[in-house]
Amino acid sequence: MSREDYEVVMGLEVHAELSTKTKIFCSCPTKFGAAPNTQTCPICMGMPGTLPVLNEKVVEYAVKAGLATNCEISRNSKNDRKNYFYPDLPKAYQISQFDKPLCEHGYVEIDTKDGKKKIRLTRIHIEEDAGKLNHDEFAGGSLVDLNRAGVPLIEIVSEPDLRSSEEVEEYLRKLKSILEYIEVSDCKMQEGSFRADVNVSVRKKGDAKLGTRTEMKNMNSFRSITRAIEYEVDRQIDVIEEGGEVEQETLRWDDVSGKTFPMRDKEDAQDYRYFPDPDLVAIKLSEEYIENIRKELPELPESRKERYLKEYGLSEKDAKIITASKYLSDLFEGAIKVCNNPKAVNNWIISDISRILNETEMEPIEIPFDSKQLGKLIILIDKGTISSSIAKKVLVEMFEHPRDPEDIIDEKGWVQISDEGAIKEVVLKVLEANPKSVADYKGGKEKALGFLVGQAMKETRGKANPQMLNQMFLEELKN
């Protein structure tokens, strides 16, 4: 049988770090990037005799995430201990939620090549993150950093509804944008605040029973997720085609070799000995509490997209790209407030800004200039102070050393030449230097005009006003 005879089935477990100021059970800060072990206390270091107290914001953020993904919110939930040993987990248990998660039975809608599709969410629960092991190349050992221990997470578990790596990517992007919009997580993939475990199985098309799955842990870039899925699907099909059986195991994806490697097998055999944490009280939520959070939910990506179609006349495709990221979409709206030119802002975001983001592998949240500065750049073009080719150079400069576009233009001497005398001078100089093109033009070759304009642009290093140049050439050529 060929690859075409198989169906791929996937379900995801996504971990998102919540952007609360303090940790889930103590008052240590959660800020990323501090010196190792400087954001710790006896509670998050797991000292015996300490008592955890649940951070209310964590519940609020998780409920928000649940409501934004169409979940039912549990009125009565609790925390459980998940017991296992690992050096980054000082208590030897993680406080998580077992049989009573905060949110259940939700869905996220994605666009597929066959139209809209609902990906069902099994649950969203809250839990604490573990610490981090730093493998020390010099000393040969591993060093434990507990700054991340106790940082609040939500784990979002999907049903096995995903059928291709494209669907997985679409689902992750949608989920990420929802979490960004409701401002519960910054979802910075490089910093690990949005990461996914991908469960993959294959079955022959038409089979009712799901195949045996493997689980690939903690991937944090779209590219590695797609590559890992493609590799793992091929590997599983090969195993079956060769008469073997896929084993249920946990895999580690290695980006360098482009392969998956076993981490531990028989995930099901691992017994976490879950039990309710006796140090924490049950989480009881009132109707009123949930409704208040529901009322405060902001506009979500889907409705923002619809609004852009109507309000600004954006194309479906552009509206989708811009609203997929809250930061891009805030940049869009902020710049329009300044320059009142939605079409230009749309074009700059879709073309030049997106291209630079791609080339530099930067996320929209990392764009170093603000929406006012983008708006000002567009005003400068609209007023004719700079040409759009100069504006492209200004934009690159805004990414590299963010400051007001006016300052960049002043410093670099990039102001457009719109002075009639100056333009005429250049035109005459170019005409004199290119008698052949002049003759060509007069002989009916209209293309020669383009060449002359190009020469004049070169002469002024792109600063001449192109409309004025054109007109001046036409006038002079008539004489």
**Residues binding Zn ion (CB under 5 A):** 26, 28, 41, 43-44
CB-based contact 8:228 (threshold 8 Å) = no
Distance CA(43)–CA(84), nearest Å, equals 18
- Closest approach of Zn ion to the CB of residue 127, in Å: 16
Complex with ligand ADP: residue 7 or 476, whichever CB lies closer: 7
Distance CA(476)–CA(38), nearest Å, equals 73
The tokens for 143 are 């060093």
The vertex-256 CA angle with 176 and 247, nearest 5°, equals: 75
Q: State yes or no: residue 10 binds ligand ADP (CB under 6 A).
A: yes
- Closest approach of ligand ADP to the CB of residue 246, in Å: 10
**List 74, 147, 158, 373, residue binding ligand ADP (CB under 6 A):** 158
CB-based contact 26:130 (threshold 8 Å) = no
Q: State yes or no: residue 159 binds ligand ADP (CB under 6 A).
A: yes
Q: State yes or no: residue 13 binds ligand ADP (CB under 6 A).
A: yes
- Closest approach of ligand ADP to the CB of residue 199, in Å: 3
- Closest approach of ligand ADP to the CB of residue 248, in Å: 9
Element (H, E) at 64: helix 56-68
- Closest approach of Zn ion to the CB of residue 45, in Å: 7
From the list ligand ADP, Zn ion, none, partner contacted by residue 41 (C-beta under 5 to 8 A by kind): Zn ion
From the list Zn ion, ligand ADP, none, partner contacted by residue 159 (C-beta under 5 to 8 A by kind): ligand ADP
From the list ligand ADP, Zn ion, none, partner contacted by residue 26 (C-beta under 5 to 8 A by kind): Zn ion
- How many CB atoms within 10 Å of residue 365? 13
- Closest approach of ligand ADP to the CB of residue 123, in Å: 9
Which residue stretch of 41-49, 101-109, 194-202, 470-478 sits at the interface with ligand ADP (rule: CB under 6 A)? 194-202
User: Taking the C-alpha atoms of 310, 315, 321 and 322 in order, what is their torsion angle to the nearest 10 degrees?
Assistant: -40
The rounded Cα 70 to chain-centroid distance in angstroms is 21
From the list Zn ion, ligand ADP, none, partner contacted by residue 28 (C-beta under 5 to 8 A by kind): Zn ion
Complex with ligand ADP: residue 182 or 200, whichever CB lies closer: 200
Complex with ligand ADP: residue 98 or 222, whichever CB lies closer: 98
Q: State yes or no: residue 217 binds ligand ADP (CB under 6 A).
A: no
- Closest approach of Zn ion to the CB of residue 44, in Å: 3
Which residue stretch of 199-207, 255-263, 280-288, 381-389 sits at the interface with ligand ADP (rule: CB under 6 A)? 199-207
Residue 174 phi/psi, 5-degree rounding, is: -65, -45
- What CA–CA distances, in Å, run from 61 to 103, 232, 406, 424? 11, 34, 41, 64
Q: Which residues, including other chains, have CB under 8 Å from residue 144's CB and lie 6 or more apart? A: 37, 87, 88, 131, 132, 133, 134
**List 199, 236, 385, 387, residue binding ligand ADP (CB under 6 A):** 199
Distance CA(312)–CA(343), nearest Å, equals 8
The tokens for 365 are 């949240």
Complex with Zn ion: residue 44 or 162, whichever CB lies closer: 44
Q: State yes or no: residue 210 binds ligand ADP (CB under 6 A).
A: yes
Output the DSSP codes for 159-227.
-S-B-SHHHHHHHHHHHHHHHHHTTS----TTTTSEEEEEEEEEEETT-SSPPPPEEEEEE--HHHHHH
Q: Tokens 């944490």 identify what position?
A: 277
**List 6, 11, 63, 181, residue binding ligand ADP (CB under 6 A):** 11
Complex with ligand ADP: residue 126 or 452, whichever CB lies closer: 126
Which residue stretch of 10-18, 181-189, 218-226, 444-452 sits at the interface with ligand ADP (rule: CB under 6 A)? 10-18
List residues near ligand ADP by CB under 6 A: 9-13, 157-160, 199-201, 210-211, 213, 215, 267
